[in-house]
Structure 1
Amino acid sequence: MSDQTNTLPQRNRVQEEYRWRLEDIYSSDEAWEKDFQSVPERVQKIKALQGQLSKKSSILLQALQLQDDLGQLMESLFTYARMRRDEDNSNTTYQALTDRVTALGSEVNSTTSFLLPEILAIPDGTLQNFLQKEEGLELYRFALDDLRRQKPHVLSEKEEALLAQTGEVTGAASKIFTMLNNADLTFPVVKDSQGKEIQITHGRYGQLMESRDRDLRRHTFQALYKTYRGLENTISATLSTAVKRAVVMSRIRKYPSALESALFGDKVPLTVYDNLIKTVRQHLPTFYRYVEYRKKQLQVEELHMYDLYTPIVEGIDWQIPYEEAVTMVQEGLKPLGNDYGRILEEAFQNRWIDVYENRGKTSGAYSWGPYGTHPYVLLNYQDKLSDVFTLAHEMGHALHSYYSYQKQPYVYAHYSIFVAEVASTVNESLLIHYLLKKEKDKTKKRYLLNHYLEQFRGTVYRQTMFAEFEKLIHNKVESGEALTPENLKGSYKQLNQDYYGPNMIIDEEIDVEWARIPHFYNNFYVYKYATGFAAATALTKQILEEGDSAVQRYLEFLAGGSSQYPLDLLKIAGVNMESTEPIKESLQLFEQLLKELESLT
């Protein structure tokens, strides 16, 4: 499976042991259909309570319980359909199932949209009386308090119903980009130094950019971005539409800005976002030093953007089969204790993971899965060290979900994205510490240090640059400026110049990199990678230095779901992200690792 070939295998040619077992969600499409058909009746049970929520505490409790039951069902329906589609985006059966459940979700949201405004219309005194009188409502106290916090941003019942009906339409930009990027877009064939033709794919791009063959890297880089440049007008239109949606929705809901709207749900102060950008910019000189070091080690007169991913340590062709990667991850995560290790083993043995790339499969990697079922992981494994870290990363997400699902009721089972990247990055940090500690070979140790520094570059510096780009383009729309290919490219080029510094050639092709970043369709998401990395760096240090006490705090954090606000959950684990200290500490670690790498050269 790991060999590069000109064409990818069809889905049914991938060995079963390397395919996830979605039958754990639904045993068949027919079972899915049966649940799908039951939704309207469930919706009507909720609808029948409209206008009565303030009358009796028992009615309010019934409405909340029915909402949870329906939410859990819709989650199972949607994740099954979407994950089946992700196996092969050209499969029309699962395109149809995804479309049907998406449309049904819009109908459900529209029909049940009365719940939020009606709950918020309950007088404070009445609600407090309900909470004291109805024992079952105590479970929902935090959720109800959070709803009350949202009161200034909730519309009337009729307005909420109208807005809910637009859900499928307003989310179209993301869907269009996904289909264009994963199903319709094809990349050219390039030749390596032996003249072998290689078809560029999303999954292979990273592998090709790590090649020691500089001409292959350059040709791959140019070919990929030429493809996106040919669609820059279309993709700038989809991105512009996504940004306008965020801006319009923030105004409709009376937020000062789209950014503050995005931060509100997590109760994250604006200063957290701004301090991240400010603190990273203050530490850019250290990053410039790393860029200069890379240039010297590669012995090139000019360092180009296509030189960023190739290892600077020569003589290493570290091919790591999937089974070996599994062992490395299990060993690296032993500091998290026996219970964590037991769940990992279950995941690896019971087909929670979809391992290899196949034709039409969604690119990249993720962890997902509905409440009531174990989480899943999608990979596109290519036998590289980076793939081992991706495995550790996604298993961090998966076990975060597992602990939350096990310990929390449905209403609090889904953790905020703000904390999502903490668990994944703790796993990566523990893995790199394990590998560095056990590695005696100087060359491999330098290779690992380079890899870890690259993790910093990609997760802290690059994602912060993305976050600044997002803030910039949303500000442009909020001030009435159009997002054209020209100003998108101009803004993106300037940020690359600022972040990479004087020792990097900012190739023309990189101006259009924004056109291939799916995260920009989930506005103000990427900053959480950087804050998550900073929090994870602090937690990893505590776990390794303190042992069991830190592990227990960390597992309590993993089991917290959304039962508290993200910043409060992180304080339980032992990190205060309202301070700039975790960010500074992670950037100081970057400098320490760079010094260690320089000393081994």
Structure 2
Amino acid sequence: MDGKTILPRSEVPEEFTWNLSDIFASDDKWNEELEALKAYPERMAAYAGKLGESAKTLLDWFTLSDEITVRVSKFVQYASCRSDQDVGNSFYQGMRSKAFSTAVALNSAGSFEASEIMAIPDETLARFYAEEPKLETYRRSIDKLRRRKAHILSPECEKILAAAGEISESPDRTFSMFHNADMRYPDVTDAKGEVHTLTDGTFVPMLMSADRTLRENAFKAYYKRAGEFRNTYASTLDAQFKQLKFFADARHYNSTLEASLDVTEVPVEVYTNLIDAVHGNLGKMYRYVELRKKILGVDELHMYDVYTPIVADADVEISFEEAKKTALEALAVLGKDYTDVLEEAFSNRWLDVYENTGKRGGAYCTGNGWPHPYVLLNHKDNLDSMFTLVHEMGHAMHTWHSCKYQPVNTAEYVIFVAEVASTCNEILLMRHLLGKTDDRKQRAYLINHFLDQFKGTLYRQTMFAEFELQMGKMAESGEALTADALSAKYLALNKLYFGDTMISDDEIALEWTRIPHFYYNYYVFQYATSFSAAVAIANRILREGESAVKDYKKFLSGGCSKEPVELLRDMGVDMRTPAPVNDALSLFGELIDELSALLG
């Protein structure tokens, strides 16, 4: 099988599918777990009003919470993976719905935890630590809760908010079902008149084609179809930001941004400073756009010209087997213990590799390391897909290390550091590939790909982050997120970030309709901050070797044992300053100069 053939799920060879039996041997076993989990709310209720009674009671509560966390994580992961492998399968959609309902019910049953722990006097808590040393394992979790005291409500209100959690998932679920399962696109033709199947999964690969006719036709057909449902897309985003505002207001935050970032202990200034730093470096982006226009030799550079490689004839087909082999070579610098786990993942089917009919688009790694993480791909046998592979395996290795070396309550790393390991892997792969060739054309091709990473991660994701910030402010001021308003704001940002050399085609105003991360609560800015941090970390690993690798594995194993900015500072990267962003974009400028020299 290759990345060109799109089969029904039932016809995909088993070796290219993930082995979910590592979680549950069958759907029947999952249903047995569903019944078993129903006993927990009563057990949890027995602790209500008692968490401050004694050190033993508090420890017993945390022990029970750990048990529930692991079981629910596995329970939800199985259902989510099953539903994502074919979002049109109503049976597994029902399973996913039951999983999230169960998780919300358990969360609601334990909603008294925060307010009760808040109410324990400092001197009483100090005595608890002295009486029961095992509580030290939970000091970090307790401190995180008590830090947010001003935003924790009464037990009754917390229960209501917990119960509303399922409703808050509705915009994302609606978008996913509509965009992945229901949307259909017309076939498109290339310069030779050959017909191509346009899907959400084939859209970007078509934009990477050397055939400009195919690129333009795919671009216009995709957004024409999206435009027919622009109001539906806008309605789901409006609901998304309304629910964010509801929870932010309920918890007495000044903004939806502050509410979202506070959960992960990230200062708001990190977000706004990123946007300011990128604005200060837009001149480099404009230079890149001008170079792309010059090398492609076009009179006008359009948005459908953004993805195609500048040195198109240096592109090669890369099978999944070759991608795995190259990934292992590139990441060998991280040690045999690291690559041994990668080989285990490849051999034991932690990955779901190719696109099939109805499969969720894009790629991701599940955040659960019990028994191990899983990775969803839509592999296309090209360089971009090889980078996606190492990216998602970076997530998998981060999850694996954190769950292996941290106690349950600090095993889950926060989203601010979630993209560091994945992006570090990509940079190590790029440096590995550049180190293997002196061929000017191949080097130019690879450098262009590296530049595209900067463009797609640092610039594009910051543009997305700025768009999210604007949507949040619209919702907070009572302004509806209509299709017209969203399109106008998005087009203006596109023009700002790409500059006058780029033709910001009218269709690009609708790009917001296809971005699933807008339903992830101010997530995307972390791609940009993580990329900046990853550049610094990868450079240190390649420069210092073993000592840097040792520190890096401490970072991978850190979970949420420290504030995320502190975990990165231990690696020598201070994201509270603009230095990492400015340094990364200085490299971007140097790469533009090298590519310009290589291509004359």
TM-score, scaled relative to structure 1: 0.98
- Tell me, yes or no, if the aligned pair for 1:567 and 1:576 is still in contact at 8 Å: yes
* Alpha-carbon distance, 1:111 to partner: 1.7
> What is the distance in 2 between the residues matched to 1:367 and 1:153?
31
Secondary structure, in 3 states, of the residue corresponding to 2:196? strand
- 1:128 is aligned to 126
Distance in 2 of aligned mates of 1:383 and 1:261: 40
Partner of 2:86: 88
1:176 counterpart = 2:174: yes
The corresponding residue for 1:52 is 50
In structure 1, C-alpha distance between the alignment counterparts of 2:540 and 2:471, rounded to whole Å: 38
CA deviation after TM superposition for structure 1 residue 196, in Å: 2.1
**1:3 deviation in Å?**
5.8
Tell me which residue corresponds to 2:487. 489
Q: Is the 8 A contact 1:4 1:198 kept in 2?
A: no
Checking the alignment, whether the CA contact within 8 Å between 1:11 and 1:87 is kept in structure 2 is yes
Asked if 1:364 corresponds to 2:362, the answer is yes
Q: CA deviation at 1:402?
A: 0.7
2:431 alignment counterpart: 433
Instruction: Quote the residue 1:251 is aligned against.
Output: 249
CA distance in 1, matches of 2:200, 2:421: 25
The Cα of 1:370 is off from its aligned counterpart by 3.0
Task: Tell me how far apart the structure 1 counterparts of residues 523 and 312 of structure 2 sit (CA, whole Å).
Answer: 36
Query: How far apart in 1 are the matches of 2:282 and 2:438?
Result: 31
- Cα shift at 1:508: 0.4
Aligned to 1:2: 2
Could you tell me which of 377, 380, 387 is aligned with 1:379? Answer: 377
Q: Match of 1:285, SS?
A: helix
Tell me by how many angstroms 1:50 deviates.
1.1
Q: Following TM superposition, by how much is the alpha carbon of 1:342 offset from its aligned partner in structure 2, in angstroms?
A: 1.0
Deviations 1:247-276 (A, max 9, x none): 121111011111111111222222111110
The equivalent position to 2:277 in structure 1, one of 262, 276, 279, is: 279
Larger displacement relative to structure 2 (301-310 or 347-356): 347-356
Partner residue of 1:575 out of 559, 573, 576 = 573
Q: Given the alignment, which residue of 506, 531, 554 partners 1:508?
A: 506
Q: Deviations over 1:341-380 (max 9, x none)?
A: 1111111111111110001111000011534211111100
Question: C-alpha deviations, 1:210-266, integer Å up to 9, x for none?
Answer: 111111100000111111111111110110110111112111101111111111122
* CA contact 1:113–1:161 (8 Å) conserved in 2: yes
Q: Which residue of 1 aligns with 2:557?
A: 559
Alignment partner, residue 200 of structure 1: 198
Aligned to 1:225: 223
- Does residue 145 in structure 1 map to residue 143 in structure 2? yes
Distance in 1 of aligned mates of 2:258 and 2:167? 23
> Aligned to 1:101, which of 96, 99, 106?
99
Structure 1 residue aligned with 2:294 = 296
Q: Per-residue deviation at 1:317? A: 3.7
Amino acid at match of 2:118: L
Q: CA deviation at 1:4?
A: 3.4
Q: Are the counterparts in 1 of residues 303 and 508 from structure 2 also a CA contact under 8 Å?
A: yes
Measured against aligned partners, the alpha-carbon deviations of 1:40-67 in whole angstroms (never above 9, x if no partner) come to 2122111111111111111111111111
1:327-406 equivalences in 2 (<5 Å): 327-368=325-366, 370-406=368-404
Deviation string, structure 1 residues 436-490 (Cα, Å, up to 9, x no partner): 1111221111110100000100000000000111111111221222211111111
Q: Which moved more, 1:344-353 or 1:524-533?
A: 344-353
Change in 2 beyond 3 A, CA 1:46/1:314? closer
Matches of 2:27 and 2:138 in 1, distance apart?
34
Give the distance between the partners of 2:188 and 2:575, measured in 1 at CA.
45
RMSD: 1.1
Q: 1 CA distance for matches of 2:419 and 2:42?
A: 38
Deviation, 1:89, is 0.9
Partners of 1:111 and 1:375 in 2: how far apart?
Answer: 27
**How far has the Cα of 1:492 moved from its partner?**
0.5
Amino acid at match of 1:2: D
Alpha-carbon deviation of 1:104? Answer: 1.4
Tell me, yes or no, if the aligned pair for 1:20 and 1:352 is still in contact at 8 Å.
yes
Whole-angstrom distance in 1 between the partners of 2:530 and 2:150 = 29
Unaligned residue ranges in structure 1 (runs of 5+): none
Bigger Cα displacement from structure 2, 453-462 vs 155-164 = 155-164
Which residue type is aligned with residue 4 of structure 2? Q
SS at 2:25's partner residue?
Answer: coil
Distance in structure 1 (CA, Å) of the matches to 2:90 and 2:181: 11
Query: Which whole-Å CA distance do the structure 2 matches of 1:579 and 1:116 have between them?
Result: 32
Q: Aligned ranges for residues 442-521 of structure 1 at < 5 Å?
A: 442-521=440-519
CA deviation profile, 1:156-186 (whole Å, cap 9, x unmatched): 0111111211121222111100100111111
**How many pairs are equivalent?**
599
Moved over 6 A (4+): none
Give 2:264's aligned residue.
266
Q: CA deviation at 1:17?
A: 1.1
Query: Pick from 16, 19, 22: which aligns with 1:21?
Result: 19
Report the AA paired with residue 469 of structure 2: K
Residue 66 of structure 2 corresponds to 68
Question: Where do residues 203-218 of structure 1 align in structure 2 (5 Å cutoff)?
Answer: 203-218=201-216
> Aligned in 2, Cα 1:304/1:448: closer, same or farther, shift over 3 Å?
same
Alignment check: 8 A CA contact 1:106 1:165 kept: yes
CA shift digits 1:85-120 (9 cap, x unpaired): 111111122111111111112221222211111121
Task: Give the Å deviation of 1:314.
Answer: 3.7
Question: Which one-letter code corresponds to 1:502 in the other structure?
Answer: D
Unpaired runs of 5+ residues, structure 2, are none
1:241 matched to 2:239? The reply is yes
CA distance in 1, matches of 2:475, 2:299: 40
Pick aligned residue for 2:304 from 281, 297, 306: 306
Q: CA offsets per residue over residues 140-168 of structure 1, 9 Å max, x none?
A: 01110111001110110111111211121
Question: Partner of 1:190 in structure 2?
Answer: 188
- Tell me how far apart the structure 2 counterparts of residues 256 and 553 of structure 1 sit (CA, whole Å): 37
Structure 1 residues 504-543: aligned runs within 5 Å: 504-543=502-541
CA–CA distance in 2 between the matches of 1:407 and 1:322? 31
User: Per-residue displacement from partner, 1:390-423 (whole Å, max 9, x unpaired)?
Assistant: 0010000000011111101111111111101000
Quick one: which amino acid aligns to residue 127 of structure 1? L
Q: Which residue of 1 aligns with 2:29?
A: 31
SS in 2 for 1:600: helix
Contact between 1:85 and 1:98, CA under 8 Å: does it hold in 2? yes
Q: Which residue of 1 aligns with 2:165?
A: 167
- In 2, the alpha carbon distance for the partners of 1:417 and 1:491 equals 26
Q: Is the 8 A contact 2:315 2:445 kept in 1?
A: no
